[in-house]
Chain A
Amino acid sequence: MSFALILNLVWHVGTLALIALGLAIVFGKLRILNMAHGEFVMIGAYSPVITSSMGLPGWLQLPVCLLTVGLVALAVERTVVCRLYGRMFDSLLATWGISILLREAVELIFGRGYQSVSLPIPGTVQIFGTSYPAYRIAIIGCIALGFAILAWWNSRSMVATRIKAMVENPGLAQAVGINTGRLSAWAFVFGCCTAGLAGLALAPTIRVEPMMGLDYLIKSFFALVVGGLGTLEGLGLGAGIIAGTQSLVGAALNQTYGYLAVLSLSILFLWLKPDGIHSALR
């Protein structure tokens, strides 16, 4: 039975890391506190609802998800977020408003009711004597692969460096020919898309409704805080600590203590190690 505990842990850490990744890009690179991040998880989770309501085949869920989330994110960036670079607290307030707008918009289109998304891969498989949902195993594999590719790309690509240059010195970055406006927009859209992907992956395993985003927002903010900004290892550690605390304390004592432990741990980190555990290890 303890192996199921490990698999649960991997599942929660993986999905949380995926959500927090987008938040880390948007907050770490653009200094935007995106309170609407959870709503992009929500929109991603609605993409199977979109495909089935339009009668599209199931394999289109992924492109529909990326397209919908990407377009909404681009619209949000171009209309609101692009005016907020360098105004961190204002970005928090404005995106709080955006999160309400997105919730209400989804409610207008799909209604407030719960949506049921069926599992693309039904049933359970036996792993080391534990029966575990096959779908979750598949998603864990995809997330692991995705992060491996990202780590490889991050170590080789210039884009991360450019974004960093842009945030630290927008004037200079512009002067050396980096299109800061376009780069910011893409970074924001990319960040929101990872949230959307996480939403799509989670959809068959959770409740899907307009208000679902908030849970994920708070948790991924804390994962970010604990892990520290700027590195993938930190992100993984942060997600691991937050999801792990909830899972382990939740399993050992009860869910209420698990929740309180996550909050208390986050407070301690914010207070004593505001740059996160990664900086503490260095």
Chain B
Amino acid sequence: MTGNLAKLFACAALPLALASGPVIAEIKIGVLVPDSGPGGLFGPSTRNSAMLAADKINRSGGINGEQIELIFADVGVPPAEAAQAALRLWKGEGVEAFVGMHDSAVREALLGRFAGQVPYVYTPVYEGNSCAPGLYITGETPSQQLAPVIPFVMDKESVSKWYLIGHDYNWPRDTNALARQFIADAGGDVVGEEYVPFTVSDFDSSLQRIGDSGADAVLVTLVGGGSVGFNVSFGSFGMDEQAIRLGTLIEENTLAGIGADNANRLYSSAGYFGSIETEAAATFAAEYAAAFGTDAPALNGLGQSAYEGLMLLAALANKAGSLNVQAMDAAAEGTAWSTPRGDNTLKGRHMAQTIYLADGTGGTFTIIASFENVSSSEACSS
């Protein structure tokens, strides 16, 4: 029965394959995207970015002369099911390398099951310090997003009293631990820090605390819907007059949900925005629009990270001469390549990259500063 169903629904997946073109694939690469669950919002832009990357890689000769084909799997499900979906590609479909855009719990589950036998590029923003054979990371870590940005913002906006608010889990806690240090270094104070469960959707008491604290800057490490809810309330209470906000995971979709009314003095720090105006980024955005139309899901840092991941994989595999983990690990350090984000270097399995600071005032991001070649302090030692 499932066979018939599979045929029936294969047609639904057809349009997604268009951009790759008719290639005779020699290497299969698994791309793990969140199609379901809270991250499902990023599924389409992630797929699109990955397909653009595959197209680019194939047009420039593939990986070690062989053409690549992408196979997608939905990992927007709990870790056990996500691991199954990935293993299905690896053991069932003969995938030789993975690029993953998903949460950290899924990453940890995959690392346990991959056990260093297959190269795996992890692409989204994350807390850092994940090191394993065969694992390479393009995502921004907290030190990259904050080290150059916090002093810059404090200077530009003349703010010094920070309030840290995030969801109650690893990434915000790790980010804030680092942020405290950068704030202190820049001569500022932390006047409050709090964590909110994922299940809480009202932020009134948090806003009141922020008001009472006298903070003039808020570091927001809430994610997804929580970030939207917080920022909407923040705006409607008129608190943008009291404090600026800086987020390390506020991308284009989140900003759209926050709305222009509530985005006054809202800053975001990331390795990519759809509105970066460098030549490489503009070309990429134009190709994206040409391939998927102007109504395509908006470009954003998380979705675009899949492009980065594939380009890293190609650069590294070409340098190592194979997709063998030992060979790639040996060749990894110092691998350099260029992408829409800028010029990148692999240091300690993590990507040293350009970090952009954008202002969301008015409901769209305007890049106001960029910091080149920022390396991560949460990279791996070897």
* Contact surface of A with B, Cβ cutoff 8 Å: 1, 4-5, 8, 11-12, 107, 111-119, 122-124, 131-133, 135-136, 204-209, 211-212, 215, 218, 246-247, 250-251, 254-256, 258-259
Contact = CB atoms under 8 A, between A and B. Distances in A.
Given A4-B208, A119-B261, A114 B256 contact: yes
Nearest to B261: A118
A208 B257 contact: yes
B236 interface: yes
A117 B259 contact: yes
A264 to B, nearest CB: 14
B196 interface: yes
Contact of A206 (B212, B229, B261): B229
Pick the 3 closest A-B CB pairs, nearest first: A114-B257, A116-B259, A207-B228
A118 B208 CA distance: 22
Contacts of B206: 250, 255
B225 A8 contact: no
7 contacts: A111-B297, A114-B41, A114-B228, A116-B363, A208-B257, A251-B209, A259-B199
B212 A1 contact: yes
Contacts of B260: 116, 118
Interface of B: 38, 40-41, 43, 168, 194-197, 199-202, 204-206, 208-209, 211-212, 225-226, 228-229, 232-233, 236-238, 253-254, 256-261, 297, 363
B254 A135 contact: no
Given A205-B236, A251-B209, A113 B195 contact: no
Given A112-B41, A258-B200, A259-B200, A207 B256 contact: no
Given A119-B236, A254-B194, A113 B256 contact: yes
A117 B258 CA distance: 9
Contacts of A122: 261
A207 B194 contact: no
A255 B258 CA distance: 21
Contact of A205 (B40, B41, B233, B256): B233
Given A113-B253, A255-B197, A247 B204 contact: yes
Nearest to A216: B201
Contacts of B254: 114
A55 B306 CA distance: 36
Contacts of B226: 207
Contacts of B229: 206-207
Given A207-B232, A250-B206, 5 more contacts: A114-B228, A116-B257, A118-B260, A206-B229, A251-B209
Contact of B202 (A12, A112, A212): A12
Contact of A255 (B40, B200, B238, B297): B200
Contact of B225 (A4, A11, A114, A119): A114
Nearest to B258: A116
Contact of A212 (B196, B201, B236, B259): B201
Nearest to B227: A207
B360 to A, nearest CB: 12
A116 B41 contact: no
Contacts of A251: 205, 208-209
Given A1-B208, A206-B201, A124 B261 contact: no
Contacts of A208: 257
Contacts of A4: 208
Contacts of B204: 8, 11-12, 247
B197 A207 contact: no
Nearest to B40: A112
